[in-house]
Structure 1
Amino acid sequence: MKTHYDLIVIGGGVLGTFHAYHALKKGLKVAILEKDKMAKGATIQNFGQVVPSGMDSKWQRYGRESLAIYKKIQNQFDISVRQNGSVYLASNEEELQLIEELAQINKSNNYESHLLSKQQCLDKYPGVRGDYVQAGLFFPEEVTIEPKTMIYKLQEYMIQHMGLEFSTNVCVVECENVNDGVFIRSTSNEEFFATKVIICNGSEFKVLFPHLYNNSDLEISKLQMMQTKPQKNYTLNGSVLSGLSIRRYESFYECPSFKTIKSKEEKNTLEKKWSVHILFKQATDGSIILGDSHQYADAQNTDDLGANLDMDIDNFMIQEAKKIINLPNYEIQNRWFGIYSQCKTKDIFEHTIGKNIHIITGIGGKGMTGSAGFSKENISKIFNK
């Protein structure tokens, strides 16, 4: 039997890692068990945008706490955080109305944002098309990270400076409450024991407690994204979100005119069919990350989404992106899809088995932005600290 831990986290993605981070901050003895050689799910297959601006009031609070946590860690150890802000570009009068309403909501919530005129948008964001943008809403506090490296740098920091024990290639197949904690066994018959276990399994529903997930309201979203070749002599600061993002993100649901504007939208468009909204972010190598789309399946039907990319979706996204920004090139060097889980009726899936096994998943597209702040509150709740 291995060491007795205060907490074992099953799953080394961003949600699990930040639960471990906050437990370590409270002086607890913590281990993470990751089934693969390294985390490779939604945590690394995303844009790397930390945008509380897109969230409803509850999750914006978590997102703003996340911003503070990311920046604090970055000041001590490079985890690829860049404070370069986010902007939402309105393309017509309806979207302009929504960003103006959100600016007022931000003001009442004490969340800094600035309305930008059309000319200010054109000056600040090279290549943005004058026949597209009408105005913008800028969030200076928001950050970008490099998703393919951030989580590994964060875990390295936690191992070196916080005492995290991190084990990879450990696939847990048995997890059960015993008298004074939780017993864990892996496929290779390694045994672990902890006072409490948190399972952050992302979209892995086949190994532990599959019946629970198959009878839940969890669903899977498959997102397609692309990366251009590096853009020579071109800089795009921060995250750029389009009018389709304004029409999709939850923060705008709270705007007084949102329901009326949504009711006027055409129903049978390709952006509706594929749930497309166009985002841009420049990576550190000068390339542009571009996307994304959304296709859905229930938890028990994950395989129905397939393992292939739909080139019609990619081509449509490039076509729409060209209407927004004239990049020096739209040559694509990488294409991929990410998978995340979310709930149909709740904002996150939480289930406790007995007293000490806590399943936390289904955070949806809020993971990179909301995990750090949410996990801080959740660890305090779980450990009554």
Structure 2
Amino acid sequence: MQPQYDLIVVGGGVLGTFHAYHALEIGLKVALIEKDSTPQGATVCNFGQVVPSGMNSKWQLFGREGLRIYKEIQQQFDISVRQEGSVYFASNPEEEQLLEELHQINRDNDYPSILMTKSKCLDSYPGLQKDYVASGLFFPEEILLEPRIMINRLHKYLKASGLVLFANCTVIDCIALSNGIEVQCSNTKSLSAAKVIICNGTDFKTLYPELFNESNLVVSKLQMMQTRPQPNYKLPSSVLTGRSIRTYGAFQECPSYTGFNSRGDFDSTDNKWGVQIIFKQAMDGSVILGESQQSVDVSKINTLGTDLNMDVDDFILQEAKNIIDLPTYEIQRRWYGLYSHCKTDDVYQATIDDNIHVVTGIGRKGLTGSAGFAKANIYHIFNLRHV
């Protein structure tokens, strides 16, 4: 019996969905299996920024390809993409130096960026505190989107292109057969495919738990919050600040970074909890703020708990107020998201019985890097590297 599909993708988040997208693009028959009615993981629990500017040289290429793909889809089907750009604000001379060096790196890489003086920053961003900002670096090509809207509309778009989507369907086993893979689901459904790609996010207990417990995967918990809609206020782009400059991979490639005091006081709240101050205005006018990061080995995921640390939220709010004076800082919603990443690798990958490919642990690169990375990975898995 021939397999029903050329490829089954397990996991309907952004990483799994873009693997399905690129498989469809090369003419394969594809099924996507999502355990919930819609994705609930890191894909929807994030800011909704696509920012190749923050990535190292390798991943910036994936991110830039992702920008092209998002914009191409948006021209055909509204998935909530807005090209408003991203800006990094430096708060001191060291951070200014890194912005200038990153600007030069991007000029060499033909990726548009614009240096902004303090005066230009203050004129362009209402409420920006003059005591904080020293200068800025703006990336006009970068986009914002609404994550939950995007992923569900992307599924709808792909279904119209031939994708078969199974929601509320938990895969409990993948069995290698002589002519493909049998995929067994908890609702007694059984499907078959020539190849299977598993993009399981942080679900490490259902399939291959021993494999993941012995891996170098880490799970991080991020806290974020959302203000009430801002009256008569428009944030021109997403805003990243000094703590992003100190930690993002792109800046670590700048010549001055090795002498830059990026860690500061290890026991301080911002370092202890991995705090960054990021602003992104949602479509309803509210502003999303964050974030903090608490990490544990994958075998200790249960120790992260489900509570929110209000001390960290209070710290983020106070720091945010020192950067931008928004009309209101009244919070309407608080949440956390979990994402997995590797201690030593960019992405966690494992191959089981030749045709079962595990791909997870893309970390905070997911929304920006998945579209470009998945394209390269589909070409590799299906031996299309000459394309």
Give the TM-score of the pair, scaled to structure 1. 0.98
Which amino acid in structure 2 is aligned with residue 155 of structure 1?
H
C-alpha distance after superposition, 1:166-194 (max 9, x if no partner): 01111111112111111111112110100
Q: Do structure 1's residue 40 and structure 2's residue 40 form an aligned pair?
A: yes
2:123 aligns to what SS in structure 1? helix
| Contact 2:3–2:194 (Cα < 8 Å) also in 1 | no
Structure 1 window deviating more from structure 2 (106-115 vs 6-15): it is: 106-115
**Match of 1:111?**
111
Structure 1 window deviating more from structure 2 (20-29 vs 266-275): it is: 266-275
Query: Superposed, which structure 2 residues align to 1:43-192 within 5 Å?
Result: 43-160=43-160, 162-192=161-191
Distance 1:314 1:347 in 2: 29
| Contact 1:2–1:192 (Cα < 8 Å) also in 2 | no
Which amino acid in structure 2 is aligned with residue 83 of structure 1?
Q
Structure 1 window deviating more from structure 2 (252-261 vs 290-299): it is: 252-261
C-alpha distance after superposition, 1:177-212 (max 9, x if no partner): 111111111112110100000000001000000000
| Contact 1:279–1:292 (Cα < 8 Å) also in 2 | yes
TM-fit CA distance, 1:264: 7.0
Gaps of 5+ in 2: none
| Contact 2:3–2:179 (Cα < 8 Å) also in 1 | no
2:260 aligns to what SS in structure 1? helix
**Match of 2:14?**
14
TM-fit CA distance, 1:263: 5.8
Distance 1:144 1:124 in 2: 18
Distance 1:297 1:343 in 2: 11
TM-fit CA distance, 1:287: 0.1
Distance 1:210 1:155 in 2: 28
**Match of 1:366?**
365
Which amino acid in structure 1 is aligned with residue 39 of structure 2?
A
**Match of 1:243?**
242
C-alpha distance after superposition, 1:62-111 (max 9, x if no partner): 00000000000000000000000000000000100110111111111111
**Match of 1:199?**
198
Distance 1:122 1:357, change over 3 A: same
Distance 1:175 1:3 in 2: 13
2:138 aligns to what SS in structure 1? strand
2:27 aligns to what SS in structure 1? coil
Gaps of 5+ in 1: none
| Contact 2:218–2:298 (Cα < 8 Å) also in 1 | yes
Which amino acid in structure 2 is aligned with residue 45 of structure 1?
C
1:6 aligns to what SS in structure 2? strand
TM-fit CA distance, 1:262: 2.6
C-alpha distance after superposition, 1:209-246 (max 9, x if no partner): 00000001001010000000000100002210011110
Distance 1:188 1:285 in 2: 38
| Contact 1:2–1:191 (Cα < 8 Å) also in 2 | no
Q: Do structure 1's residue 287 and structure 2's residue 289 form an aligned pair?
A: no
Distance 2:356 2:263 in 1: 46
2:8 aligns to what SS in structure 1? strand
Distance 1:219 1:175 in 2: 24
Distance 1:176 1:292 in 2: 40
| Contact 2:3–2:180 (Cα < 8 Å) also in 1 | no
Which amino acid in structure 2 is aligned with residue 236 of structure 1?
L
Distance 1:315 1:293 in 2: 11
| Contact 1:224–1:294 (Cα < 8 Å) also in 2 | yes
**Match of 2:207?**
208
Distance 1:220 1:256 in 2: 31
Distance 1:105 1:214 in 2: 39
May I ask how many residue pairs the two structures share in their alignment?
A: 384
**Match of 1:345?**
344
Distance 1:185 1:369, change over 3 A: same
Give the % identical residues.
Answer: 58
C-alpha distance after superposition, 1:272-296 (max 9, x if no partner): 0110010000000000000000000
Which amino acid in structure 2 is aligned with residue 339 of structure 1?
L
Distance 1:26 1:240 in 2: 37
Distance 2:148 2:170 in 1: 22
Distance 2:294 2:262 in 1: 22
**Match of 1:302?**
301
TM-fit CA distance, 1:23: 0.2
1:262 aligns to what SS in structure 2? coil
| Contact 2:2–2:179 (Cα < 8 Å) also in 1 | no
Distance 2:364 2:340 in 1: 8
TM-fit CA distance, 1:304: 0.4
C-alpha distance after superposition, 1:336-373 (max 9, x if no partner): 00100000011100111121000000000000000000
Distance 1:264 1:27 in 2: 48
